[in-house]
Structure 1
Amino acid sequence: MFLSVIIPAYNCEKTIVRAIKSTGVHLNNQIEVIVVNNGSTDNTEMLIKKERKNNKNIIYAESESGVSNARNKGIEMSRGNWITFLDADDCLQNLDNKLRKLLLNIGEGLVIGNYLVGKSIINLYSMTKNKDNYSAIINQMLKNPTKYMTVWGKFYRNDLIKKENIRFNNQLKYSEDSEFLIRYVLLCKQIRFINDNVYNYTLSKDSTVRSYNPQMIYEYEKAIFQIKKDLNKYSEYENSFKIFILM
C-alpha cells in the first residue's frame, strides 16, 4: 500500500462520495481511503458504507467528535507508506502513476503540491524561491500561513509519523493543522515541492472561519502559544513566527 488518504467526515452527505472517488481508490489497489465519521446525523454513514461495499480499500471508522480526533483515528489505522489528508467537501487531483513513482523513489520526508482554490491556482512551487534550503522553506511557510500552513495538499511519511508519535492536538479548535504541520516539518528535515495541482479546495459560504465568533480569539491564542512552544528550540524561526502571529 503506497498511500493512505484520511478523510474526516461530519454531515457531508452532499460531497463525501465525490471526495472518495477523487482519490482514485476505485482505479488503484495501492491506495486506501480511511473515512472517519465523527458524529454525523445525516446520511453520511450510509453513503460511505455503500461506497465500501465493492472496495475493501475503502475503510469506514468512527471517532469522537472533532476533526483532530478523526484524523488521529485515521493515522492509527493507516497502512500506506505515505499519508495525505482530504477534507470531505474537497477533492484530490492527479494521483497518477507519475506521483506514485515519485513517492516510491524519493528520500524527502514531505512532498508539497500546488492546489486550486475554486478556479484559482495557488502555485507553491513557483512561490518557494529556495526549495533546496530547509530553513528558508520553514521561514517562508511561517510568513505565509494562509498559503502554506494547511495539512492538506501534502504527503507525509507514515513511518515518521508513527515513529515520532505525531498526532493532531485535540485541545485545539483552530490552527490544529498548522500546529501538526510545524511539528512534522521540524522532524522530517527534507521537503520536496512538485509543480502539479494535487488538491482542489472548495470555497464555502458556511465556513466557520468566515463568520465572526469571539471565542475564535481565545482558540487562536491557544494555538499560537502551542506553536511557540514547538519552535522554542529554534531561534532561526523567531522573526518568521512573529509574522505568523500577525497573519
Structure 2
Amino acid sequence: MNGISIIIPTCGEIKPLVRLIQSITKQTLDKPFEVVIVFNSISQTKFLLKKPQINFGTSAELQFIWIDAKGVNKARNAGIEKAKYNLLLFLDDDCELVNSNALQAHLNYHVAKPDLFCLGGIYNLPPRASFFDRVYNLIQIRWLYGSLKAAHSQAANFLIGGHFSAKKEILKKFEIYFNPAIIYGGSELEFFLAAQKNSLSCELSDLVVTHYTHENIWSLTRKLNRQGRGQAVAEQNFPVETAQLQAQLGETFTASLIMKAALIYFNYVFWYGYFSQNQRRSQFIVLLARNLLDSVRYRHFKLIQKLEAEIRIKNDQGDRL
C-alpha cells in the first residue's frame, strides 16, 4: 500500500472544512497521503478570493478540484479519478478525525486483508448535540449495525459513505463508482449494491469520527425523504410487506417516548419518499393502514395477556384460601 488519498466532497463551507483538514494534520502515518478536496457548489473564483484568509494548518499535499454540477456522488467520482494512491478514504466535510492513528488504522487493516474492498467506521456526536442530531445519529447507527451479515461479525452489506476506505485497484477492476444521478440521500447505496453483486468484501470497524450535524425537524424530514427516494432509484421495488416489517421494527424500538415517536415519524417519512419516487403513493397508504391495524391487534393481544395473568393470580389466591 503506497499511501492514502483522502477524498472530501464539499459545498464550500470553509469552517468545517478547515476543522477536518486540521484534524488530518494531527495524524501519525508511516506512508505519504494527499487530500483531494472536490468543490461542487462554490465557484473557483469565489474560493480563491477566500483562500488567503484560510489557514488549513498543514503542509500536506492538497488538491483542489471544481466540478460544474452539484452532487456528492459526482464529487466523489471526480476525486477517485484524481487520487494517486491505491487506498482511498472518503470523508464528508462535516466530520473530524478524533484519533491520531485513524489513517494508520485504515492502512494497517487493508494491508492485513488484501482481499478486503471496503472498511467502514461509525459516527459519534459532539457534546451538546441537539435532539434531532441524536435522532439522526441513532437512525444511522441502527442502519449500519442492521446491515451486518451476522451477529458478532464485521462483514457488512452497507457502510456510511462519509466515513469509509476502499482499494482503488479493486474499484477500477470491477468498475464500481457512485451513481451520479443520486444527488443527495442514500448516495452510497448503489455503490455497495455493486460490491455485493461482485461478491466483494466489506467490513464495519469500530473506527470513529465526530460528525457535526445541525439538524432540525424540517431539515431531517427533507433528508429522510431524499434517502427514501435515493433507495428507490438504487434498488428494485420493495413489496409493501417489506416496508411494513421495517416500519414495525422502528415502532418497537426501545427508547424514550419522545425518541420513539421521532423514530416512527422519520421512518414513515423515509417510506413516503421511497413510494413517491416510484409513483406508488397508494401503497404508502396501504402501509399506514396495515401498520395501524397491526398496532391495534398487538395492543389487544397484550391487554388479553394482562387480563389472563390477573385472572390466574386471583384464582391462585382463591385456591390457597
TM norm. shorter chain > 0.5:
yes
| 8 Å Cα contact 2:36/2:79 also seen in 1 | yes
Q: Residue 110 of structure 1 contacts residue 188 of structure 1 at CA under 8 Å; is this kept in 2? A: no
**Quick one: structure 1 residues 169 and 54, their matched pair in 2 at CA, closer, same or farther if it must change by over 3 Å?**
same
Q: Taking structure 1 as reference, are residues 210 and 126 closer, same or farther at Cα in structure 2, changes over 3 Å only?
A: closer
Q: Give the Å deviation of 1:159.
A: 0.9
Listed one character per residue, the Cα deviations across residues 130-154 of structure 1 (whole Å, up to 9, x for unaligned) are: 35585xx43xx5xxxxxxx521222
CA distance in 1, matches of 2:52, 2:160: 25
Structure 2 match to 1:21: 22
Q: CA RMSD in A?
A: 4.1
Which amino acid is 1:194 matched to?
A: S
Deviations 1:182-223 (A, max 9, x none): 2234435323333332x2211213798425499x56x84464
Conserved in 2, the CA contact under 8 Å of 1:38 and 1:63? yes
Number of the residue aligned with 1:146: none
| Greater mean deviation of Cα atoms: 52-61 or 162-171 | 52-61
Does residue 105 in structure 1 map to residue 112 in structure 2? yes
Pair 1:189 & 2:200 matched: yes
Q: Which residue of 2 aligns with 1:61?
A: 65
Residue 158 of structure 1 pairs with residue 163 of structure 2: no
Give, in whole Å, the separation in 2 of the partners of 1:213 and 1:130.
Answer: 29
Change (3 A) 1:103 1:37: same
2:90 corresponds to 1:85: yes
| Alignment TM-score, normalising by the size of structure 1 | 0.70
Range with greater deviation from structure 2 (165-174 or 48-57)? 48-57
Contact 1:35 1:59 (8 Å CA) reproduced: yes
Q: Indicate if the aligned counterparts of 1:168 and 1:180 stay in contact, CA closer than 8 A.
A: yes
The residue number in structure 2 matching 1:224 is: 232
Corresponding letter in the other structure for 2:177: R
Change (3 A) 1:206 1:27: farther
User: In the TM superposition, what are the counterparts of 1:138-217 in structure 2 within 5 Å?
Assistant: 138=157, 141=158, 149-173=159-183, 174-187=185-198, 189-197=200-208, 199-205=209-215, 209-212=219-222, 216=225
Inter-partner Cα distance in structure 2 for 1:105 and 1:213: 37
Instruction: Report the CA distance between 1:6 and its aligned residue.
Output: 0.7
Partner SS state of residue 161, structure 1: helix
Q: Residues 22 and 43 from structure 1, CA distance in 2 versus in 1: closer, same or farther, beyond 3 angstroms?
A: farther
Rounded to whole Å, the distance in 1 between the matches of 2:52 and 2:36 is: 10
- Alignment counterpart, residue 31 of structure 1, candidates 28, 33, 40: 33
Contact 1:5 1:34 in 2 (8 A): yes
Give percent identity, aligned residues only.
Answer: 18
Q: Would the alpha carbon gap of residues 15 and 189 (structure 1) be closer, same or farther in structure 2, given more than 3 Å must change?
A: same
Question: Structure 1 residues 21, 181: CA separation in 2 closer, same or farther (over 3 Å shift)?
Answer: farther
Does the 8 Å contact 2:71/2:182 carry over to 1?
no
How far does residue 85 in structure 1 lie from its aligned partner after superposition? Answer: 1.4
1:145 corresponds to which residue? none
Following TM superposition, by how much is the alpha carbon of 1:116 offset from its aligned partner in structure 2, in angstroms?
0.7
Per-residue deviation at 1:43? 6.0
> What TM-score do you get using the length of structure 2 for normalisation?
0.56
Change (3 A) 1:133 1:93: closer
Q: If each structure's helix is expressed as a fraction of its own residues, which one has the higher value?
A: 2
Which SS does the other structure have where 1:88 is aligned?
coil
- Which of 102, 117, 121 lines up with 2:125 in the alignment? 117
| Count, aligned residues | 226
Query: Whose strand fraction is larger, Structure 1's or Structure 2's?
Result: 1
Larger radius of gyration: 2
Query: Comparing 183-192 with 15-24, which one deviates more in the overlay?
Result: 183-192
